[in-house]
Structure 1
């Protein structure tokens, strides 16, 4: 696995590497985060879902904005799960979009911060308003993102 230029949290996962769990530690205390990869209706394409763990349902609450003061570290951790997941499933295409425009901008920030490193190992695409993909361009607005491992 590539070494990240930003610090990240340690995570726990299961054998299939579909769900990653880690704790965000910041100004609001410890908050459990989940990253989940779910196969979409196109074989080999996986949706990346991310958010706070809802303690009651044990599912992701992707609508809450935590503002725990550690966004860069959280995003670096999410990126590290992409490395782990695609290490096990090298043919996978990972699709990510935010539950809101603000969350999508947060994803874009995470990709931008890690882009040079990501481009060593992945093809990174942005989903444009006309529903076509283009190679990711820093500063462009995208509806979502698609990432796949370079072989």
Structure 2
């Protein structure tokens, strides 16, 4: 289970989660959104900073609030909460830039052994999905909760 994460605020349907990143740049509201794709039980995981004045969520802003591991752990925590409510869901994630996709890959790699206990994790290598392996450049990730024993 994920230990060092921020407290989450979630919508009733558990498709949207918010939390505050706290660091040298101040308090930044982050949003994790799950949106169903055109395929039943397939959801896109979106993540970004929320502009509190407009409500707009940007997945291109680079916050550099010196808490990236805690932010990624918090996003990972939403996977657990979301899949408790939607246990058959397949979650697809990719970064808005190659650098963000690499950051997500590093986050998965750091927590891979723990995550593999609860989730099947795939990486998109070219045009093929394969079980996630360390040190491979992937273009997207697919995650599905393993059936409860």
Identify whether the pair has TM-score above 0.5, normalized to the shorter chain.
yes
Q: Which runs of 4+ in 1 moved over 6 A?
A: none
1:93 corresponds in structure 2 to 90
Deviation at 1:85, TM superposition (A): 0.2
Structure 1 residues 29 and 88: CA distance shift in structure 2, 3 A: same
C-alpha separation between the residues in 1 aligned to 2:51 and 2:123? 29
1:54 equivalent in alignment to 2:51: yes
1:44 equivalent in alignment to 2:44: no
53-62 or 82-91: bigger deviation:
53-62
1:9 equivalent in alignment to 2:6: yes
TM-score by structure 2 length? 0.95
2:129 to 117, 128, 133: 133
Alignment length, in residue pairs?
147
3-state SS, counterpart of residue 111 of structure 2: helix
TM-score by structure 1 length? 0.94
3-state SS, counterpart of residue 78 of structure 2: helix
1:30 corresponds in structure 2 to 27
Deviation at 1:106, TM superposition (A): 1.0
C-alpha separation between the residues in 1 aligned to 2:36 and 2:135? 29
3-state SS, counterpart of residue 6 of structure 2: coil
Deviation at 1:59, TM superposition (A): 3.1
> Which digits, 9 at most, give the CA deviation of each residue in 1:22-68, with x for residues without a partner?
00001111000000000011111000000101224313200111111
5+ residue gaps, structure 1: none
C-alpha separation between the residues in 1 aligned to 2:145 and 2:16? 19
C-alpha RMSD of the superposition: 0.9
C-alpha separation between the residues in 2 aligned to 1:55 and 1:109? 29
3-state SS, counterpart of residue 17 of structure 1: coil
140-149 or 48-57: bigger deviation:
48-57
